[in-house]
């Protein structure tokens, strides 16, 4: 039986740069966010909690209509459906990364093609019309 993972997180862009970090077991640059494990809260609250945990900041959601992206992940146990849910957001406060964050950067939007990005970064930024 296939497994389904839902992950939620904000997309934060300031001065033509996107906030990305490296955490978990990959070397990809990723948006803040993570797996939804507590279904008692909505996806916006989950995105808020994740960015607070990862980057130490609050956010203001700029558009409550999220971008949904579906992908499949191959694992030794079989295929997993992954549904990523992103909200455009504004950062409130100074960044103070959590201990799970290996590194973080503001990456200029025009330099993204030079980076090792998670597969959802470009489609999400295009959806929010932040890049072409």
The pLDDT tens digits of the residues spanning 73-117 come to 888 888 999 999 999 999 999 999 999 999 999 999 999 999 999
End-to-end CA distance of the chain: 38
How many residues are listed for the chain in this entry?
132
Domains of the chain: 3-127 (3.90.79.10)
**Cβ atoms 109, 15 nearer than 8 A:** no
User: Would you list the DSSP string of 64-109?
Assistant: SSPEEEEEEEEETTEEEEEEEEEEEEEEES-----TTEEEEEEEEG
Q: What is the pLDDT of residue 37?
A: 87
Return the C-alpha torsion angle 38, 42, 48, 51, nearest 10: 50
- What does the pLDDT look like over 23-63, one tens digit per residue? 988 899 999 999 998 887 899 999 999 999 999 999 999 99
Q: What is the pLDDT of residue 41?
A: 82
Q: What is the pLDDT of residue 2?
A: 62
Q: What is the pLDDT of residue 92?
A: 98
SS3 at position 120: coil
Q: What is the pLDDT of residue 15?
A: 98
Residue 1: pLDDT band by 50, 70, 90 thresholds?
A: low
């Amino acid at each position: 039986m296939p497994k389904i993972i839902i992950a939620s997180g904000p997309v934060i862009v300031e001065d033509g740069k996107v906030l990305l970090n490296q955490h978990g077991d990959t070397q990809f640059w990723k948006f803040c966010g993570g797996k939804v494990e507590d279904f008692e809260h909505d996806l916006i609250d989950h995105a808020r909690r994740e960015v607070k945990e990862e980057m130490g900041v609050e956010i203001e959601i700029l558009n409550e209509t999220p971008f949904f992206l579906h992908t499949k992940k191959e694992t030794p146990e079989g295929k997993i459906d992954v549904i990523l849910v992103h909200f455009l957001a504004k950062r409130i406060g100074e960044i103070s990364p959590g201990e799970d964050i290996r590194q973080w950067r503001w990456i200029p939007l025009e330099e993204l093609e030079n980076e090792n990005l998670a597969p959802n970064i470009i489609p999400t930024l295009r959806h929010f019309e932040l890049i072409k």
